[in-house]
Copies of this chain bind each other. A is one copy, B any other.
Amino acid sequence: MSTYRAARIGYRRCFGSDTTVRTPIIRAHSEVVFHWLNFGFRVAGMALTPPIVLTIAGFDPSSGAGITADIKTIAAHECYGVSCITALTVQSTQGVRRVEGVDPKIIVETLGELVSDLAVDAVHIGMLGNAQVVEAVASFLGQIFPGRAKLPHVVLDPVLKSSSGADLLDAAGTRILIEKLLPLAELITPNLDEASVLTGTAVTNLDQMREAAARLHSLGAANVVVTGGHLEKAIDLLSFTTARGTEEEVFKADRQRSNSTHGTGCAFATALACHLAHGRGLPEAVLLSKVYVSAAIANAHPLGHGVGPLNHLYRMGQQRRSSTVVSEGEHVHSRN
């Protein structure tokens, strides 16, 4: 029997297996000690269990985006992925044909079942679909993890439209997302269009990205990445809060001309959640996630008649084939 499993069984015998009912202080403390011991083992390369990343998002049958793509992204980052579907879509590489929301009651039950069984290290939130679902997810996160300090890492990708133009969140949903979900997130990752809708201003260049980030901070966002992959020169702006105030990093890269870009936003945000789950800092997490998405695009196969999927697990292929070199682009750091 492994040391880990022995420790786990010993732990369970002492303190029970129900993580939702753990009122005695000694039990809560032991959970924390156990968590950090496990984390220490993981950092030392001796682990045991991978970090657990939960994705709350839509379902895309073609696996370009949504939970199945996220599960691959999570596996590519050596984490274990679990998922909660917010909406079924009928889609392929040629676009979104139909969206069917999932009953918020099932969503809440699913989230409850997952967190009572597994210690979630990070949460990726993607497409939510409608106001009821946004409300359900926000109140669940607030109830299960009350108080900011106890939240796992939450990365919120405010998905409003598909890349093919279908509406993926209504106006009421957007309002509740800003009001209730945004303050719970450790990081929010809007693209230019989403930043524009969330802040009510035009966002088409770096200066406007800075203004949008400042506005999102004032709305309660702790940290913001505005992704400008659609600009002529791809620019991402990370604006983050430190003990010294708000700092920024600007990431520039050549724009990739490719037809395999279905779900790049999902892959980027999910990769960020994984890096945070591994204990990495924000600037490093953003840089590594950008490199990952670039490589997944560069290694993609031409699939389907429309905008094809990334190759989320390209690293598997690289066991046998030579790797594609991906430029990390320019990287500028400054402090406000």
Contacts and interface: CB of A to CB of B under 8 A. Distances in A.
Contacts of A301: 48-50, 80
Given A62-B82, A72-B72, A83-B68, A117 B304 contact: yes
Contacts of A103: 100
Nearest to A19: B305
A78 interface: yes
A90 B118 contact: no
Given A68-B68, A68-B83, A92 B109 contact: no
Contacts of A116: 92
Interface string A274-310: 0000000000000000000000000001111110010
A12 interface: yes
Given A8-B302, A302-B5, A81 B98 contact: no
B117 A92 contact: yes
A40 interface: no
Copies in the complex: 2
A270 to B, nearest CB: 13
Interface in A80-125: 80-85, 88, 90-94, 97-98, 100, 102-103, 106, 109-110, 113-114, 116-118
A204 interface: no
Contact of A88 (B78, B94, B102): B102
Contact of A100 (B82, B106, B303): B106
A67 interface: yes
Is chain A's interface secondary structure helix, strand, loop, or mixed overall? Answer: mixed
A302 B2 contact: yes
11 contacts: A5-B302, A8-B302, A61-B82, A62-B117, A63-B80, A67-B68, A75-B313, A85-B85, A93-B117, A94-B117, A100-B103
Interface of A: 2, 4-5, 8, 12, 17, 48-50, 52, 59, 61-63, 67-68, 71-72, 75-76, 78, 80-85, 88, 90-94, 97-98, 100, 102-103, 106, 109-110, 113-114, 116-118, 301-306, 309, 312-313, 315-317, 319
